[in-house]
Structure 1
Amino acid sequence: MINSVSAKVKVDPKDAKVSMAHFYVAFIALALGGLMGLLQVLVRSGKFELPLGIGYYEILTTHGVLMGLILTTFFIMGFQYAAVSKTAGTHSNAARRAGWIGFWLMTIGTLMAAAMILTNKASVLYTFYAPLQAHWIFYLGLTLVVVGSWVDGAAQIMTYAKWRKNNPGKPSPLLTFMAVINTVMWIVATLGVASTVLFQLLPWSLGLVDRVDVLVSRTLFWYFGHPLVYFWLLPAYMAWYVVIPKVIGGKIFSDSLARLTFILFLLFSVPVGFHHQLMEPGIDPAWKFIQVILTFMVVIPSLMTAFSLFATFERYGRSKGAKGLFGWFKVLPWNDARFTVPFIGMVAFIPAGAGGIVNASNQMDQVVHNTIWVTGHFHLTVATAVLLTFLGVSYWLVPHLTGRKLTKSMNKLAIIQGWVWFIGMTFMSVAMHLEGLLGGPRRSSFSTYGNSQQALDWIPYQIAQAVGGSILFIGIILFLIIFINLAFFAPKGEEEFPVGEAENLEEKAPLVFENWKLWLGITAVLILFAYTVPFIDIIQNAPIGSKGFKTW
């Protein structure tokens, strides 16, 4: 719980520099990745050809890696670093040094991977599946990004541990607790992708081994790939649970409920990767079924979050005299970008969650698997619910860190930016879902299918995607204008770092939530249960590995 004194504390300027460094890289990735996304939808419409011999899969890989891995990881680490500094106290010199080391490792790794993609030596998509083979520098670059994120996360854990040591018998600040949960989940999840890169893909690309087991590689990737979604999502939940109540003038519905939600995400986010492999041979259907069941367990904390948020909104509305079932809706601060932009993301998460249930269902997944429906789902989750929340956070966090103010003009432009994004994504994501139901493939260009009747049936949806993508790119330009203003040109002043208080100040979160031996132990048991037997089976019955082929 946060008291009124700590709510006035400003993030230390030295810590602010670390966070801002992360944001600069994150939003450069947004600009470049967004441009690649625009080119993609224009090419898919069949009305545009890439100049200078640039390949479609080159821009597809650039878009996926920059938006799905680089933008998100840098922003999340910068946000969490600032959040821990704000709520658990200024980082020590050692923690700050770790933050800088993590940042530079990630940045160097990003430049290495980007160089290989942009020179068309790593057009392997953001999933970098074997048997496609990238240049070894690409794999080493991504390894540095992961290792750098571990060091970044270690800085947050160090400050959390220091707070616990200085405050025995007390629950840690809620925002710090959430950041640590997400960091721990990330470290556990990235063990999978680190394993496949270090022990399979990197030696393979260096010519040290002749073959790799493709199914092992994909299984290790999706061990990481699904919790990656929650690594994106949980920082948005941090803002929804802790920041939004303060912004609207309300209270956090329940501190304990918020902590339990994050614990459940830690337990059930990792041992579910097989639901991304439902159509793949070589994995026992019984284990696929078990992991589908575990996947649906994640619906529980999501519903808990929805209940908590709308309870906060309703109770705030009642305090303002709102009547009726939805009277609270009218009294929310719609003229405040800090609320409106993330709220649009919250609403988008409702159909996004429904689409996720389809993807994770064995029978329904057979209809949409590897179609552009899945791409539409990703764009509702990470590119709308998550990204709009991140942008909404930036509108107050960037001026807080730079000692400036969110002016009325920038606030108004930020609201416009949020609605522009909503309109663009409505065009693009709805068209992707509809084209997917008609069998429109994921990850393909217009030229792949030529003038077949099937391809002609997809054209209206692809044109709608091009319209939506163009509007989305305008939204990115608007955001970059606001970000540059808030970072360098806005009037000097003090912008609030909004941290909410629990409605019941007497409520004390049970200390069992911070029993890391218990929760990490249960997490390890679930992972071993979900993966040990099927992984042994995959290795014992593996066919001769694939030699693959280079992408350059």
Structure 2
Amino acid sequence: MFYPSAKLKVDRRDGKLAMAHFFVAFTALAIGGLAGLLQTLVRSGKFELPAGIGYYQILTVHGVVLGLVLTTFFIMGFQIAATSKTSGTLTNKQRLAGWIGFWLMTAGTVLAAIMILLNEATVLYTFYAPLQAHALYYIGLTLVIVGSWIDGAAIIMKYAEWRRKNPGQPSPLLTFMSLVNTMMWIVATIGVASTVLFQLLPWSLGLVETVNIAVSRTLFWYFGHPLVYFWLLPAYMAWYVVIPKVIGGKIFSDSLARLSFILFLLFSIPVGFHHQLMEPGIDPAWKFLQVILTFLVVIPSLMTAFSLFATFESFGRSKGARGLFGWVKKLPWGDARFTVPFIGMVAFIPAGAGGIVNASHQMNQVVHNTIWVTGHFHLTVATSVVLTFFGVSYWLIPHLTGRTLTKAMNKLGIIQAVIWVIGMTFMSGSMHAAGLLGAPRRSSYSEYGGAAQALEWIPYQVAQAIGGSILFLGIILMLYIFINLAFFAPKGEQEFPVGEPADDAEKAPMVFENWKLWLGITVVLILFAYTIPFIDLIQNAPPGAKGYKLW
């Protein structure tokens, strides 16, 4: 399907907006990566932090900066560039919204980071009550959330403009996907915004003495699980739309891609209780319901796997491949734009299996609050998602800066991915193994002294330190590639690859563009899954908890 408004190159003004997001994202990669390295070294028992820096302080930096800042800024930059490419240059009003959102997000990030560095917000990635941060930390988080809404408004406005100009036509696929992810993000962040604005911020200001912990944790996980899909869907965008063009093939099915994104919108939000299976105060029946809804998300994931490998096989067969796996040899393994995201795809197989364990009633009891969960996150967001983001960077950064991906940088990109896989094998593999032995999720070695059980975990913690060191080398290499592609690569025209559906594919039905229907179903599912449990949590709340500092 050809979209008349699609351009060969993203407008220079839109490119500057997207690149501003990427500069913050890769700065976050450097800071968060260093914090992660220090964290693994401390946990090995072979290293002590200097200058009175606390272990949980760097743990908070690592989780917040990489899990929230890096991902949010990269995703928004990618989606703005993708929307501009496929639906046309942003208007001045749309671009202004993007810049306002960007600067609000940046200001909020700086404010929150200062509080963490001053040890006034050592509350970990989840900032659970009764851990209490300085009010400025919560204000910073609020600015990040509100800024992301305004940033996303630019995408929504551009989509609405395209639909007005092209009535009766399905929107460009990348724009459609960007819109779905933006809408999911806005609906999901209502939860974390609510707990920050109405619970944690008044509490930290001393306006209220206590906070309902069960409600705050439930609101966080209302947001926390769709956050995972907010990370993942931009990777799916690259897998569905970009990779087919990179390999020289076609998108297997435009309609299947749209349906899978709609299903993620419907089933990713009303499932937060599967992160709270071990918590009191929530009726087991409602936990069970949300576990079922969680498993429904497997459906669009399997649809994606089918569609992607159908694309790969169709391409291979078109090049003369024979036999069951002959098509594998026809794929462009020397192209970092394909190979690096493909490694991310493969990593998502064990990552998805681990997610099924986490969401299961009985198996969750084995791994709950152990470092297995951390290992799972490192397979999903830190491998599948991050490697795909790196693969996107290899063509998107030079496209936006008017440069080209050289053979040297392409080769270096593949080397970087191999280093990343080796490091993550040590890191995530040892985390999963130690978690099965009961190693806690966030604790440092020094807290356990010479306890016999702690001694059992030492080999795995040393393996994590080895993996963390290798991964940090991968981060340094990625930062070098980014700087080269942004400032020093040869001038030229780098393609923004956008795939087209197969010639015999049917036109996507317009029902996918019916947002009253899809958002309406989403709201109904959320109300069904959360209304009665929330009433129970409020009516039967235990005495509120006062705050304390972790470090």
Instruction: Tell me if structure 2 keeps the 8 A contact 1:7–1:499.
Output: no
- Residue 74, structure 1, aligned to residue 73, structure 2: yes
**1:468 aligned counterpart, secondary structure:** helix
Partner of 1:203 in structure 2? Answer: 202
Confirm whether residue 247 of structure 1 aligns to residue 246 of structure 2: yes
After superposition, the C-alpha distances for 1:211-253 in whole angstroms (9 at most, x for unaligned) are 0000000000000000000000000000000000000001000
Inter-partner Cα distance in structure 2 for 1:126 and 1:2: 43
Q: Any residues of structure 2 matched to 1:28-427 within 5 Å, and which?
A: 28-427=27-426
CA drift of 1:323 comes to 1.2
Question: Relative to structure 1, is the Cα distance of residues 502 and 107 closer, same or farther in structure 2, using a 3 angstrom cutoff?
Answer: same
Give a deviation string over 1:442-488, Cα, whole Å, max 9, x none.
01100111111100000111111111110000000000000000000
In 2, Cα distance between equivalents of 1:219 and 1:6: 43
String of CA shifts for 1:501-535, please: whole Å, max 9, x gaps.
Answer: 00036621000001000000000000000000011
Compute the TM-score of the two structures, normalised by the length of structure 1: 0.99
Residues 58 and 117, structure 1, Cα contact 8 Å, conserved in 2: yes
Matches of 1:368 and 1:490, distance apart in 2: 46
Cα distance, 1:425 vs structure 2: 0.3
- AA of the residue aligned to 1:277: Q
Residue correspondence of structure 1 range 17-28 to structure 2 within 5 A:
17-28=16-27
Match of 2:480 in 1: 481
C-alpha distance in structure 2 between counterparts of 1:111 and 1:100, whole Å:
16
Shift of 1:315: 0.5
User: Which residue of the partner structure matches residue 501 of structure 2?
Assistant: 502
Runs of at least 4 residues off by over 3 Å = 5-8
Output the CA distance in 1 between the equivalents of 2:2 and 2:22: 26
Contact persistence 2:17–2:98 (CA under 8 A): yes
- Aligned partners of 2:343 and 2:6: how far apart in 1? 26
Structure 1 position 533 matched with structure 2 position 532: yes
Distance 1:104 1:8 in 2: 27
> How high is the TM-score relative to the length of structure 2?
0.99
The answer to whether the 8 A contact 1:134-1:551 is kept is no
Q: Structure 1 pair 505/498, CA: closer, same or farther in 2 (3 Å)?
A: farther
Task: Kindly provide the amino acid, as one letter, of the partner of residue 280 in structure 1.
Answer: E
Whole-angstrom distance in 1 between the partners of 2:418 and 2:322: 27
Q: Which amino acid aligns with 1:367?
A: V
Give CA-to-partner distance per residue, 1:380-419, whole Å, 9 cap, x none: 0000000000010000000000000000001010110011
Report the counterpart of residue 12 of structure 2 in structure 1. 13
What whole-Å deviation, never above 9, does each CA across 1:167-193 have from its counterpart, x for those lacking one?
A: 000000000000000000000000000
RMSD: 0.9
> In structure 1, how many angstroms separate the alpha carbons of the residues matched to 2:543 and 2:243?
53
SS of residue paired to 2:51: coil
Letter in 2 for 1:156: I
Q: Is the 8 A contact 2:6 2:87 kept in 1?
A: no
**Separation of aligned partners in 1, 2:175 and 2:432:** 37
The structure-2 alpha-carbon separation of the partners of 1:117 and 1:2, relative to structure 1 and needing over 3 Å to count, comes to farther
Paired residue type of 2:470: I
Q: Provide the residue aligned with 2:464 in structure 1.
A: 465
**Offset, 1:550:** 3.6
- CA drift of 1:325 comes to 1.2
Is residue 2:438 matched to residue 1:439? yes
One-letter code of the match for 2:279?
E
Q: 1:485 to 1:105 in 2, by over 3 A?
A: same
Paired positions, count: 551
Separation in structure 2 between the aligned mates of residue 164 and residue 412 of structure 1, nearest angstrom: 41
Alignment partners' CA distance in 2, 1:188 and 1:150: 10
